[in-house]
Amino acid sequence: MDSASAQVTLTSDGPPKLFTFDGAYYMDATGEQIYNDIVYPLVENVIEGYNGTVFAYGQTGSGKTFSMQGLPNVPAQRGIIPRAFEHIFLATATTENMKFLIHCSYLEIYNEEVRDLLGTDKNQKLEIKEHSERGVYVAGLSMHVCHDVKSCHELMDKGFNNRHVGATLMNKDSSRSHSIFTVYVEGMMENGSIRTGKLNLVDLAGSERQSKTGATGDRFKEATKINLSLSALGNVISALVDGKSKHIPYRDSKLTRLLQDSLGGNTKTIMIACISPSDNNYDETLSTLRYANRAKNIKNKPKINEDPKDALLREYQEEIERLKAMIPFRSVQANLDLDTMEGLDPNEAARKLQQLQQQFVGGEQANNEQLKQKRTKKLKDAESKMQRLAAALNVNRDDPLLQVYSSTQEKLDAVTAELQREKNRSKALESEVEDLQGEFELDRLDYLETIRKQDQQLKLLSQILEKIQPTIRKDSNYYNLEKVKKDAVWNEDEGRWILPDISISRTVLPTAHNGIDENIPQRVSRTSLDLILTVAIASQKLARSEEENIASNYFKPIRQSNVLNKYKGDNARSLGDSPTLDGEVKLRAG
């Protein structure tokens, strides 16, 4: 690794592979050095009203979170995020004739779900929206006003403790989510115009191979989502660099959707590629370097954000003017309506006014020339370093065929050397093709393993569903799973299926009548008519049964009657009489 020329050389069995970037830093580099060289100019641009993004990419355990967060107790090894806090408040304090409002937000993307790390409910899922003027934003994301460096650190620590982390074979505290800490810097000049800058500080979860991390269960599910979003990020970068793609797949993941403006849009973006020095991670290191090499070719179109309609600073300024008008002796000057002033407490208005004015920062050290010179020197040093690097990279080697040589032998030597260089370049390209094929094969095997794991999970859920389905009520709409599948609708914005609500169909029987209702509609189904007739007949039988004497008709002494009739019959025969059916005795004629 050559820091002077910002080049990284990767060696293996084949020819060495050379990559050139805007900066290259080995393990002995400090966080302060990295920040001053590459991040300092970007944060200065944010103060001026540009959008900026810094994101760290690399395999798991390569130092992404360390680069962004650093070590709080070691001043030289503090990360990019805490240094950016100090830089922003130092810049606003030394800026003259401007007032600033600074607020922050902190979110994470966990298993393709956006969550607010600073919200009251950290498990609440938030939706990504898109507006013609605001662009892509997260609905319901909490904003927190910061008036000093300490308040920013408190927010960062609170959100960091709410992030999802887990242990793998490669990192005991592996980040299981992507996080984005955003600092909004809104500045108002004396003429009332507003400039708004935004700094996105992104800590990506590491790309993983399941065979190395040993991820199972929840860790495997997380790794699948992480690799999916990072793969989508790579596809976006490739499509932007290609230049021929008519469609940029920003919507393939929540990460690329939120970074849409940072990739090919109105943002100045810095990518920090973190790699491992271990030869065991050669394939992952090569993949990361290629990833970064493609990303540096993206062309963004940054511009200053002037007078945005959704500036929070404008709302604060309007509220301040309104509160000033509520204070005694100013209401007449403000010419406010009586309805507006009615019921307002002047003391409460003064208290709110003081609270709002305390939220503004800027100009506290406007007369401190030493701080101003320190800030200017850092910016010039960073710019001069970039100019020297650009000059070193733009040194073009002259074509040996166009040179004038003193002898034929000298020309022959020069041409021979050029031929050898071209042969080496050809071998390097051949080796590059082989490496790409090998990398593709590794990715293919990794994807196959992921598919196998997901197939096992799918079969498990299917078998569980087969066991559960017989227990579902038959009068529920979820008893027919095929119909539920047809009624389900995929929501692209939320990235989930919208299922029909659970409903229970209840059979409502008609009111019982003594006879058939003459007002029955003609368009009654045969089944319904039979049901009505059955109910009517049953009602008639029930009405007749109430009139019967059940005790006398169904429980009368039958044996006693039979014995009495038999006795009367025998007695009649002995007298020459004939009994009748009703048991009465009549004399025969004659």
| Widest Cα–Cα separation across the chain | 177
Q: Characterize the bridge pairing of strands 113-116 and 125-131.
A: antiparallel
Q: Say what percent of the chain tops pLDDT 70.
A: 68
CA dist 314 and 320 (Å) reads 10
CA proximity to 185, closest of 75, 68, 51: 51
| Residue 31 tokens, joined | 């966080």
Please report, for the chain, the start and end positions of each structural domain, with discontinuous segments joined by +: 7-308, 423-481
Give exposure, 524-561, as e/b (b: 16+ Cβ within 10 Å). eeeeeeeebeeebeeeeeeeeeeeeeeeeeeeeeeeee
Those residues whose C-beta lies under 8 Å from the C-beta of residue 45, and which sit 6 or more positions away, are: 52, 197, 268, 302
Looking at residue 75, the DSSP 8-state letter turns out to be: G
Pick the CATH number of 7-308 from 3.30.465.10, 3.30.499.10, 3.40.50.1220, 3.40.850.10: 3.40.850.10
Whose structure tokens read 């967060």? 69
**Quick one: 300 exposed, middle or buried, by C-beta within 10 A (0-12, 13-18, 19+)?**
middle
Q: Which residues are annotated as a binding site for ATP?
A: 58-65
Whose structure tokens read 């607010």? 116
Q: What is the mean pLDDT of residues 403-410?
A: 74
pTM for the model stands at 0.66
Residue 589 reports pLDDT greater than 50: no
CA dist 15 and 425 (Å) reads 9
Per-residue pLDDT of 231-262, as tens digits, reads: 888 888 888 887 777 788 888 889 999 999 89
Q: Is 274 helix (H, G, I), strand (E, B) or coil?
A: strand
Distances, alpha carbon 152 to alpha carbons 67, 85, 181, 523, in Å: 18, 7, 10, 72
Residue 132 reports pLDDT greater than 80: no
CA torsion, ordered 66, 69, 72, 74, to nearest 10 deg: 40
User: Is the CB of residue 89 less than 8 Å from the CB of residue 149?
Assistant: yes
**Helix 408-468 and helix 282-295, axial crossing angle in degrees, nearest 10:** 100
Whose structure tokens read 């984005």? 180
User: Is the CB of residue 51 less than 8 Å from the CB of residue 198?
Assistant: yes
User: What is the end-to-end Cα distance of the chain in Å, rounded?
Assistant: 149
Structure confidence at residue 582 (pLDDT):
46
Those residues whose C-beta lies under 8 Å from the C-beta of residue 322, and which sit 6 or more positions away, are: none
Lowest mean pLDDT among 107-116, 142-151, 334-343, 499-508: 334-343
Lowest mean pLDDT among 336-340, 459-463, 507-511, 560-564: 336-340
SS (H, E, C) 88-134: HHHHHHCCCCEEEEEEEEEEEEECCEEEECCCCCCCCEEEEEEECCC
Strands in 390-516 per DSSP E: 489-491, 496-498
Question: Across-strand partners of 166?
Answer: 174
Rg (CA), the chain: 42
Confidence tier at 270 by pLDDT (50, 70, 90): very high
Higher pLDDT pick, 224 / 54: 54
Q: Which residues are annotated as a binding site?
A: 58-65
Give exposure, 172-189, as e/b (b: 16+ Cβ within 10 Å). eebbbbbbbbbbbbbbbe
Residue 512 reports pLDDT greater than 80: no
Looking at residue 259, the DSSP 8-state letter turns out to be: T
Confidence tier at 337 by pLDDT (50, 70, 90): very low
Per-residue pLDDT of 24-61, as tens digits, reads: 898 888 888 899 888 999 999 999 899 999 988 888 88
Per-residue pLDDT of 378-387, as tens digits, reads: 888 877 777 7
- For 76, list phi and psi in degrees, rounded to 5: -75, -20
CA dist 274 and 292 (Å) reads 10
Q: Is 79 helix (H, G, I), strand (E, B) or coil?
A: coil
